[in-house]
Amino acid sequence: MAPEAELMPRLRNVLYSGQIGEGPIVAEFEAKFGEFVAAPDRANVLSFNSGTAALHIALLIAGVKPGDEVVSTPMTAEPTNLAIVHAGGRVVWADIDPANGNIDPDSVRQKLTPRTRAILAVDYGGIPAPLAALSTIAGDAGIPLIEDAAHALGARYAGKVAGTHADFVMFSLQAIKHLTTVDGGMLVCRDVSAAAHGRVLRWFGMDRNAPRIGVDIAEVGYKYHMNNVNATIGLVQLQHVQDVIDRHVANGRFFDHALAGIPGLELCRWDAAAEPSYWMYTVMVERREDFVNKLAGRGIATSLAHQRNDLHSVFAASRAELPGVDRFFSRMIHIPCGWWVSDDDRAHIADTIREGW
């Protein structure tokens, strides 16, 4: 959270302004966030009260209708795939690249059918998915590519910051992301008319600028908009987010070098065009339980972060053979690399791992 002296006066002002709902501060936050992710115009950027809401709306405005298939990855936080179900879609699993946990374009191509309405890719842990190959596949199939960039604020692909590499790009602003508004989500839409559709759907299906009794709800909408309080937090956080991202990246690059060549440990490898945001630092290890215990004994927390989504009962109808997921999920583990990890901490982590487990 941004320094108290900076945040609290602005928060106090908005809380007692008489305008705590969605107002001009939300629009200002959308504009400033859009600048940060190099969106073409503020009209392309929508804020939401969560990343899950942003994804749900992205799927709806991408044209996903009940029964349509969405090709997606099981290696993600569950909301990625629950949003497909919220939209009435059917989850079709593509396999992942066991070198980094991201969706595998060859597998995506194999999973397309005439019922496929969208491809949903996740930048797992902040490593950009292979967006060039995925865009080509989506373009060839005439369907949109949706990028779940919840972990990837500030990541870059082909020299450009994450935000404009897919038809729809979602960011989560929940509690533990690079930029938090406590809860919130953003959607950058390539097409301005799609964004306008999303703006209506995020507020019950009504145009907020139209007179309330002159407006007709033609399509069911949702209570998904952001409010001025969260947007105020976001505006202040935005002034510090590059420092937060830079620290994640500095720690991540430190581990890229410090952990290279350790027997029994494999580093992630990624698309040459990708520059990760290092939201999490993932390694693949032999004898994972021993690795976890060794680090725990030295006061170092590790985590698996997410269950592979295909194992949840709610997705039972989508079960598939996923050898890449099997390989990755049996060996992967996340080690601390966020803004809270100091130079001493990261040296202690690397030294401990180098001793072996």
Ligand X SMILES: Cc1ncc(COP(=O)(O)O)c(C=O)c1O
| 127 φψ region: left (φ > 0), alpha (ψ -120 to 50), beta (else) | beta
| Residue from 47, 100, 116, 172 binding ligand X (CB under 6 A) | 172
Angle (deg, nearest 10), helices 228-238 and 4-15: 160
Residue spans of alpha helices (H) in 190-339: 192-201, 228-238, 241-258, 288-297, 323-331
**Number of residue whose CB is nearest ligand X:** 51
Applying CB under 6 A, the span of 48-56, 203-211, 239-247, 330-338 interacting with ligand X comes to 48-56
d(CA 338, CA 65): 38
47 in Cβ contact with 231 (< 8 Å): yes
34 in Cβ contact with 162 (< 8 Å): no
HSE-up of 48 (CA within 13 Å, CB side)? 30
| Residue from 19, 50, 164, 242 binding ligand X (CB under 6 A) | 50
Closer by beta carbon to ligand X, 79 or else 198: 79
Angle (deg, nearest 10), helices 343-354 and 241-258: 20
Residue 81 has which token pair? Answer: 């795939």
Site for ligand X in 237-256 (CB under 6 A): none
Q: Using the rule CB under 6 A, is 51 a contact of ligand X?
A: yes
Question: How many residues make contact with ligand X (CB under 6 A)?
Answer: 14
Closer by beta carbon to ligand X, 137 or else 170: 170
SS3 3: coil
Applying CB under 6 A, the span of 46-54, 211-219, 244-252, 334-342 interacting with ligand X comes to 46-54
Closer by beta carbon to ligand X, 129 or else 161: 129
d(CA 126, CA 254): 16
Site for ligand X in 103-162 (CB under 6 A): 122, 148, 150-151
Applying CB under 6 A, the span of 47-55, 67-75, 132-140, 320-328 interacting with ligand X comes to 47-55
- In the complex, what is the shortest distance from the CB of residue 38 to ligand X, in angstroms, rounded to a whole number? 21
Site for ligand X in 179-208 (CB under 6 A): 185
- In the complex, what is the shortest distance from the CB of residue 309 to ligand X, in angstroms, rounded to a whole number? 10
Interface residues with ligand X (CB under 6 A) are 50-52, 76-77, 79-80, 122, 148, 150-151, 172, 174, 185
